[in-house]
A and B are shown apart, each in its own frame.
Chain A
Amino acid sequence: MSTEFTQIQPLSQPIDIGDEIASFASEIEAEIDWHLAKYPVMRSAILPLMFIVQRERGYLDPPGVAYLAKRLGLRITDIWEVATFYSMIHTEPIGRHHIQICKTLSCKIMGEPRITEHVCKKLGIQPGETTPDGKFTVSLVECLGSCGTSPMFQVGFDYYENLTPEKVDQILASLPP
Chain B
Amino acid sequence: MFIGAIGCEPLQLARVHLENSRSLEVYRRHGGYQALERVLTSMSPDDVINEVKKSVLRGRGGAGFPTGMKWSFVPKDSPKPKYVVCNADESEPGTFKDRYLMERDPHMLIEGMLIAAYALGAKTNYIYTRGEYKYLIDIMDRALEEARAAGLLGQNILDSNFSSEVYTHTGAGAYICGEETALLSSLEGMRGHPRMKPPFPAVSGLYACPTVVNNVETLTAVPDIIKMGGEAYQKLGTEKSGGTKLWSVSGHVNRPGVYELPMGYDDMEKFIMEDCEGMRDGKKLKAVIPGGSSVYVMRAEDIIGRDVRMDYEGLVAGGSMVGSGGFIVMDDTVDIFESTKNLTEFYKHESCGWCTPCREGTDWLVKIFKRIEKGGGRPEDAQLMLDLCDNIEGKSFCPLGDAAAWPIQSAIKRFPEDFKRHLVKAN
Contact = CB atoms under 8 A, between A and B. Distances in A.
Interface stretch (A9-17, A37-45, A115-123): A37-45
A103 B341 CA distance: 12
A4 B208 CA distance: 5
Given A86-B173, A149-B256, A46 B207 contact: no
Interface in B93-136: 93-96, 98-99, 124, 126, 130-135
Contact of A145 (B132, B186, B346): B132
Nearest to B350: A142
A45 B293 CA distance: 31
A91 interface: no
A88 to B, nearest CB: 4
Contacts of B130: 145
A82 B191 contact: yes
A140 to B, nearest CB: 10
B170 A85 contact: no
Contacts of A85: 174, 191-192, 352
A145 B188 contact: no
Contact of B204 (A3, A86, A147): A3
Given A45-B189, A51-B172, A106-B94, A5 B209 contact: yes
A2 interface: yes
B207 A3 contact: no
Contacts of A109: 251-252, 330, 333-334, 339
A105 B94 contact: yes
Contact of B251 (A39, A48, A88, A110): A110
Contacts of A92: none
Interface residues of B, number: 65
Interface-central residue, B93, B334, B349, by most chain A CB under 10 Å = B93
Contacts of B98: 145
B230 interface: no
Interface in A23-70: 38-48, 50-51
A148 B135 contact: no
Contact of B93 (A1, A86, A87, A106): A106
B410 interface: no
Contacts of A148: 1, 96, 248-250, 256-258
Interface in B235-286: 248-252, 256-258
Given A3-B204, A143-B93, A87 B134 contact: no
A138 B207 CA distance: 38
A82 B131 CA distance: 14
Nearest to B99: A145
A96 interface: no
A145 B248 CA distance: 10
Given A4-B208, A87-B172, A157 B135 contact: yes
B187 interface: yes
A158 B92 CA distance: 20
A87 B151 CA distance: 38
A1 B199 contact: yes
A146 B96 contact: yes
Nearest to B193: A85
Contacts of A47: 131, 169-172, 186, 189
A132 to B, nearest CB: 26
Contacts of A168: none
A12 B37 CA distance: 51
A149 B250 CA distance: 8
Given A1-B195, A47-B186, A51-B170, A147 B94 contact: yes
A131 interface: no
Interface string B285-328: 00001000100000000000000000000000000000000101
B207 A2 contact: no
Interface string A132-174: 0000000001111111111000100111000000000000000
Given A38-B126, A41-B207, 9 more contacts: A5-B207, A38-B167, A39-B167, A40-B207, A82-B191, A88-B172, A89-B173, A105-B94, A108-B342
Interface of A: 1-5, 38-48, 50-51, 72, 81-82, 85-89, 103-106, 108-110, 141-150, 154, 157-159
15 contacts: A47-B170, A47-B172, A50-B172, A72-B189, A86-B131, A86-B173, A88-B173, A105-B328, A105-B339, A106-B251, A109-B339, A142-B93, A142-B349, A143-B94, A145-B91
CB-based closest 8 A-B pairs: A43-B189, A88-B173, A86-B172, A147-B250, A5-B208, A87-B173, A148-B256, A106-B250
Interface of B: 1, 81, 90-96, 98-99, 124, 126, 130-135, 167, 169-175, 181, 186-192, 195-196, 199, 203-204, 207-209, 248-252, 256-258, 289, 293, 326, 328, 330, 333-334, 339, 342-343, 346, 349-350, 352
